[in-house]
Structure 1
Amino acid sequence: MSVTFNHTIIAARDRAESARFFRELLELAEAPSWGPFTNIQLDDGVLLQFAEPPVEIQMQHYAFLVDDELFDRAYERLCERGVVHWADPQMRRPGEINHEHGGRGVYFKDPAGHAVELITRPYL
């Protein structure tokens, strides 16, 4: 069997709010949830499980490769909702997107404060 990525747990202040944020932004269907997890599933089968940990949340970085059409729709939703965003991970170019690696990208924070990146072309 080859190695594939199956799932990860993402710490959230409000697991339902965080799952809804990603589900709506990335146009994903609801997935079955259980126990302390509210789940969403990416198109390739990877499960994102949102949970409310009993400790302070440390920022993590999550990058999603999307096609150009979804990028346009997601970026429009970010702007409509007033989500602060940047063209760079250092947060020096607010309100912009980048055109690096032959595609486009944008950085923003999710409801729990995690750094999220949307890109239209992989780095490698």
Structure 2
Amino acid sequence: MPARLDHTIVHSTDRFASARFLTGLLGEPGPGSFGPFATVRVANGVTIDFADSIVGRDRIVLQHLAFLVSEDEFDEIFARIGDRGLPYWGGPHHQEPQRINHRHHGRGVYVDDPDGHAIEFLTHPYVEEE
């Protein structure tokens, strides 16, 4: 069996605030809880597990999470970004402020979560499946 991602842990200053930020954009119910984690379940059973960092915000290593979504889901997510007045970018390093991109035959947008983790939503994968 090929390896499949089961979960990943993202450090945050407030695990439930970060998890609610993501579930809110995805239009999903609030996060779950498992041990010391606030959990967000995404496709294929994968969970994003947010953990309170013990080192403080200035020492959290920023991560990039990219979510492949349908065109309709992108429209819904992008509307939620606008409804919340969130800054967003067309590029991963805050290039193209308040714009989406049209790379890879699709659309993409980047937002930062409350701790500065880059959250990307895209409608077409960068690499085609074989």
Mind listing any 5+ residue stretches in structure 1 that lack a counterpart?
A: none
Pairing 1:22-101 to 2, within 5 Å after superposition: 22-30=22-30, 32-55=32-55, 56-101=59-104
TM-score, length-normalised on structure 1?
Answer: 0.93
Task: Give CA-to-partner distance per residue, 1:46-99, whole Å, 9 cap, x none.
Answer: 011111111121211111101111111111111111111111123221110001
Is 1:38–1:51's contact at 8 Å kept on the other side of the alignment? yes
Query: Percent sequence identity over matched residues?
Result: 44
Secondary structure of the 2:36 match is coil
Number of aligned positions between the proteins: 124
TM-score, length-normalised on structure 2?
Answer: 0.89
- Structure 1 segments, 4+ long, off by >4 Å, are none
Shift of 1:30: 4.5
Mind listing any 5+ residue stretches in structure 2 that lack a counterpart?
A: none
CA RMSD of aligned residues (A): 1.3
Secondary structure of the 1:33 match is strand
Instruction: Choose between structure 1 and 2: higher helix proportion.
Output: 2
2:88 maps to amino acid: H
